[in-house]
C-alpha cells in the first residue's frame, strides 16, 4: 500500500483516497503498480487543457439547466418541514449575493442530552423570538390620560415562561418616558410627565406591539424535528451569531442558509462552501445533474475578493479590469465616463474587448502566439 504514497504528487488527493479504498487487500505490488500507472494515464488524459474557457463552461452548465427549473417558490419536503424557497428564485438569490433572503432558515443541532429529546419543546420555544403582540390580547389607548393598557394572555405567557416582572423590565428598558405597572392580566404604561400628542402616543402603541421580549432575534418560527435518530430544531429566520452562543447548541453542525451570516461568523472559506452546498441542494432537488466543479468555480469567483460579492453589476462584474468588458455588461455610459475621467487604460486582456475589435481572443486556440520576424 505504500506504493500508493509514491504517487501522491502525480494524482490528486481525491483519487488517491478512492484508490486506497477500492484496491482489494492482498493485491500484489506489481498489480498495484499497474493499477496506479493506468490511473495516472487516465487521469492525464482527462486533465483540462491550458486555455480552456472553464468560466464560460461553468456559466453554461448552470445557466442552461436554469431554463428547466421550476419557478414555484415553495416546495414541500414532507409533511412536517418548513417552506423553503427552491428552484430558480433560490439560485438567483444565492448568486445575487442578497443579504435579505426570502426564507431564511436554520438547522440547529444539539448537544447530547438535548439531541435525545430532552426538553426539546421548551428549548425550541426559548429560541423563538417573542414580541409583545404575541402574548397580548389587545392594546387599549386611553387618550385622556396618555395611558396604554395591554391585556395579556397569561396562558401563553406561562407557556413561554414569561413573568410579569420580567415583562415589565423588558419593556421599560426599551421605551423611555413611560412608567410600567402590572395588574391582574394586564400591563399599564403611563406616560411620565408632559402631555404627549395623540399622534405620538398612537405611534408608541404601534411600536410597542413589535417590541422584543425574549428569545433569539430574527427567529420567527421553530420546529423540533427528529432527523435520523436525533432531534434537531429547524427554524424560520436566522441568527447564527446568537444561536452559536447558546450552550445547548452543537456548534459544529448547526447551519443557516444565509450566506452572509456564515461569511461574517465563520469567514469567506465557510461562505464559499455554503454557496456550493446551497446551490447544489437546489440543483439536486430539481433532479438535474450539474457537476460540482462548475458550482465550485462560481462560488470561488463570488468569494475571490475576500468578501461575498454577488454576480451583479455592483459585485463581481464591477471588479473587472477592462473598461469595455464592464461597459458591455450594463450601464455602459457610466463606465466610459468614469474611465475617461481617470484616463483608464484598457489592455484588452479578456474576451469581449477583443471581440469588439475583431481580434483573436486570448483563450482556447487564440492563446498560443507565434513570434516571428516579418520582412519589411
Rg of the chain's alpha carbons, rounded to an integer?
30
Nearer to other proteins, 190 or 348 (CB): 348
Q: Is 74 in the site for other proteins (CB under 8 A)?
A: yes
Q: Is 161 in the site for other proteins (CB under 8 A)?
A: no
d(CA 337, CA 5): 57
Q: Is 328 in the site for other proteins (CB under 8 A)?
A: yes
Of 163-171, 200-208, 258-266, 334-342, which part binds other proteins (CB under 8 A)? Answer: 334-342
Considering only residues 9, 45, 229, 252, which one is a binding residue for other proteins as defined by CB under 8 A? 45
Of 99-107, 158-166, 216-224, 251-259, which part binds other proteins (CB under 8 A)? Answer: 216-224
d(CA 265, CA 261): 6
Q: Is 276 in the site for other proteins (CB under 8 A)?
A: no
Considering only residues 175, 223, 268, 270, which one is a binding residue for other proteins as defined by CB under 8 A? 223
Considering only residues 67, 100, 173, 197, which one is a binding residue for other proteins as defined by CB under 8 A? 67
Q: Is 198 in the site for other proteins (CB under 8 A)?
A: no
Residue partners of 252: CB distance under 8 A and separation at least 6:
109
Burial 280-290, CB ≥16 within 10 A → b, else e: eebbeebeeeb
Nearest to 299 by CA among 274, 265, 262: 274
- String of contacts with other proteins for each residue 297-316, x by CB under 8 A: xx-xx--xx-----xx---x
Query: Segment 75-114, which members bind other proteins (CB under 8 A)?
Result: 75-76, 79-80, 82, 88, 91-92, 95
Enter the C-alpha cell of residue 10.
Answer: 502525480
Burial (CB count within 10 angstroms: exposed 0-12, middle 13-18, buried 19+), residue 48: exposed
Nearer to other proteins, 214 or 326 (CB): 326
CB 253, min distance to other proteins, A? 21
Is residue 213 classed as helix, strand or coil in its secondary structure? strand
CB 256, min distance to other proteins, A? 18
Q: Angle at the Cα of 224 (from 221 to 229), degrees rounded to 5?
A: 155
CB 101, min distance to other proteins, A? 17
Q: Is 6 in the site for other proteins (CB under 8 A)?
A: no
**Total of chain residues touching other proteins, rule CB under 8 A:** 117
Query: Segment 335-374, which members bind other proteins (CB under 8 A)?
Result: 336-353, 355-357, 359, 362-365, 367, 374
d(CA 2, CA 146): 84
Question: In sequence order, what are the beta bridge partners of 234?
Answer: 107, 223
Which H or E run contains 109?
Answer: strand 105-109
Of 46-54, 167-175, 206-214, 263-271, which part binds other proteins (CB under 8 A)? Answer: 46-54
Query: Segment 229-248, which members bind other proteins (CB under 8 A)?
Result: none
Nearest to 6 by CA among 32, 28, 43, 44: 32
Amino acid at each position: 500500500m505504500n506504493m500508493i504514497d509514491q504517487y501522491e504528487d502525480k494524482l490528486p488527493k481525491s483519487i488517491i483516497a478512492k484508490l486506497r479504498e477500492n484496491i482489494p487487500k492482498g493485491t500484489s505490488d506489481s498489480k498495484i503498480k499497474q493499477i496506479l500507472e493506468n490511473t495516472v494515464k487516465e487521469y492525464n488524459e482527462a486533465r483540462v487543457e491550458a486555455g480552456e474557457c472553464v468560466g464560460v463552461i461553468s456559466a453554461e452548465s448552470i445557466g442552461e439547466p436554469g431554463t428547466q427549473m421550476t419557478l414555484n417558490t415553495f416546495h414541500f419536503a414532507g409533511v412536517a418541514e418548513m417552506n423553503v424557497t427552491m428552484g430558480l428564485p433560490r439560485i438567483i438569490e444565492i448568486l445575487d449575493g442578497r443579504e435579505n433572503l426570502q426564507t431564511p432558515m436554520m438547522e440547529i443541532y444539539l448537544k447530547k442530552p438535548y439531541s435525545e429529546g430532552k426538553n426539546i419543546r421548551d428549548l425550541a420555544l426559548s429560541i423563538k423570538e417573542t414580541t409583545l403582540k404575541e402574548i397580548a390580547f389587545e392594546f387599549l389607548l386611553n387618550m385622556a390620560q396618555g395611558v396604554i393598557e395591554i391585556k395579556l394572555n397569561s396562558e401563553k405567557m406561562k407557556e413561554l415562561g414569561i413573568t410579569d416582572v420580567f415583562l415589565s423590565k423588558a419593556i421599560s428598558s426599551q421605551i423611555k418616558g413611560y412608567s410600567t405597572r402590572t395588574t391582574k392580566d394586564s400591563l399599564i404604561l403611563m406616560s411620565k410627565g408632559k402631555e404627549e400628542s395623540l399622534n405620538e402616543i398612537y405611534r408608541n402603541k404601534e411600536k410597542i406591539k413589535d417590541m422584543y421580549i425574549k428569545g433569539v432575534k430574527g427567529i420567527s418560527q421553530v420546529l423540533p424535528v427528529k432527523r435520523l435518530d436525533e432531534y434537531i430544531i429547524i427554524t424560520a429566520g436566522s441568527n447564527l451569531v446568537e444561536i452559536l452562543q447558546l450552550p445547548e447548541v452543537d456548534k459544529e453542525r448547526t447551519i443557516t442558509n444565509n450566506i452572509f451570516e456564515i461569511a461574517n461568523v465563520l469567514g469567506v472559506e465557510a461562505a464559499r462552501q455554503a454557496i456550493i452546498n446551497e446551490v447544489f441542494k437546489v440543483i439536486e432537488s430539481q433532479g438535474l445533474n450539474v457537476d460540482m466543479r462548475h458550482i465550485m468555480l462560481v462560488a470561488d469567483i463570488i468569494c475571490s475578493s475576500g468578501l461575498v460579492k454577488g454576480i451583479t453589476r455592483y459585485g463581481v462584474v464591477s471588479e473587472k479590469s477592462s473598461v469595455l468588458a464592464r461597459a458591455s455588461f450594463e450601464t455602459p455610459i457610466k463606465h466610459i465616463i468614469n474611465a475617461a475621467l481617470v484616463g483608464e487604460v484598457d489592455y484588452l486582456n479578456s474576451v469581449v474587448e477583443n471581440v469588439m475589435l475583431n481580434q483573436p481572443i486570448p483563450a482556447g486556440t487564440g492563446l498560443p502566439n507565434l513570434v516571428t520576424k516579418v520582412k519589411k
